Amino acid sequence: MTRLQSLHFENFDRLSILRARRTDATESYMLKPVGANEVYERMEERSSAIKYVVGAMQPIDPTYTENTYREGERVRNQLEKSLCGQGIVCEFDYQGSVTNDTHIRAKSDIDLLTLHCAFVSLDPPQRVSSPYCGNPVEDLLELRRSSIRVLKEKFPEATVDSSGSKSVCIEGGSLRRKIDVVASNWCDTNEYRVTRLKRDRAIHVLDAHKLERLRNLPFLHNARLHDKDQRTNGGYRKAVRLLKSLKYDSQTEVRLSSYDIAAIVYAIDDQKLNVYKGMELLLLDHCKKHLDFLNDNKWYRDALFVPNGTRKIFCTEGASVTGLNDLQREVNRLNYEIENDLTRSFRNLAEARVEY
């Protein structure tokens, strides 16, 4: 790394970007002073890079998260009443990073699943007892079109964006969050037939551009992330939040989705993610070594699946080596800053305990 590069990194104030992203002044009247709950604000540590690492790992203030769900419920209530009045009965649920506590923004958006109740898909060899005679794609298209009309009527000051293939986005006006409304239906897997556990139930999501339905297991994804976090004493979610923060706070694009970042961290050995409070800098080091190993070992990288097993992490519709290199770049930059700051205070990474 050249001296010019290091100067560039020193001039990049990640901590200010983190502060702006994690706090929301428009809601400060409902809470303590903006940022008062943030770990980095009460740390005595002088290094802004170390403050960034520890601060980025923390969960978003629960009050902000509650407000996200509250806005989602506002949209849900309007859709439920209006769609039912049109003869379209739906169930509703949520998916996304807010639901598994890996979100990193105060104003996180959330996916609202609108699940058509006229039919349920079954995985083979299950057989239906009451055959459905309609067209599931057409019914989901009508659900999507009706949802767009309801959103525009009930939230006239908001912006409704229907350009996406899998969701209709609404934000602005009286809404304090962006809500992605997803036309979908339930799919009962063979596992769900036995367990009746929500984690084992799948959904089909409408792709309005390709006119097809895509199978997904969002609740199994969340359940496996939760289990991983429990096994690692909270280290899993800390590492995911850190790497996602580096993606969003970067000065240059990191071409990896949040979903794939969560999957990449999921592949790290549990022992490497289980660190004592105050030793969080080790998580950065273990993430760095894991990314290096992924980059150097194609055979291992190509064998990895996302947590719910629906596809491989590195594939055409998933993560790319280019995106992995982008994330490595940000991790290496931050690690370089940390090592410099520790050297100045005569500490090394293995012994660097951070009080907060």
Residue 214 C-alpha from the chain's centroid: 19
Looking at residue 27, its pLDDT comes to 64
Looking at residue 273, its pLDDT comes to 98
Which band of pLDDT confidence, cut at 50, 70 and 90, is reported for residue 216? very high
Span 279-333, pLDDT tens digits: 999 999 999 999 999 999 999 999 999 999 999 999 999 999 999 999 999 999 9
With residue 156 as reference, give the H or E element that holds it.
Answer: none
Cα–Cα distance, 125 to 45 (Å, whole number)? 59
Cα–Cα distance, 164 to 346 (Å, whole number)? 52
Contacts of 313 (CB under 8 A, 6+ apart): 260, 263, 264, 267, 301, 304, 305, 306, 319
Which band of pLDDT confidence, cut at 50, 70 and 90, is reported for residue 355? confident
For the cut 80, the answer to whether the pLDDT of residue 122 exceeds it is yes
Q: Considering only 10-14, 125-129, 194-198, 270-274, which range has the smallest mean pLDDT?
A: 10-14
Mean pLDDT, the chain, as a whole number?
A: 92
* pTM confidence score: 0.92
> For the chain, what percent of residues have pLDDT higher than 90?
80
Q: Are 75 and 179 in contact (CB under 8 A)?
A: yes
Mean pLDDT of 55-78: 95
A 10 A CB-CB count for 233 gives 14
Burial class (CB in 10 A: 0-12, 13-18, 19+), 345: exposed
Cα–Cα distance, 245 to 55 (Å, whole number)? 10
Q: Structure tokens of 177?
A: 């969050």
Ordered domains of the chain (ranges, CATH): 3-61+223-351 (no CATH), 63-218 (3.30.460.90)
Higher pLDDT, 28 or 167: 167
Q: Are 161 and 108 in contact (CB under 8 A)?
A: no
Cis peptide, bond prior to residue 33, ω within 30 of zero: no
Burial class (CB in 10 A: 0-12, 13-18, 19+), 169: middle
Contacts of 312 (CB under 8 A, 6+ apart): 302, 303, 304, 305, 306, 318
Cα–Cα distance, 106 to 62 (Å, whole number)? 10
Classified as helix, coil or strand, 93 is strand
Q: Are 48 and 15 in contact (CB under 8 A)?
A: yes
Looking at residue 45, its pLDDT comes to 84
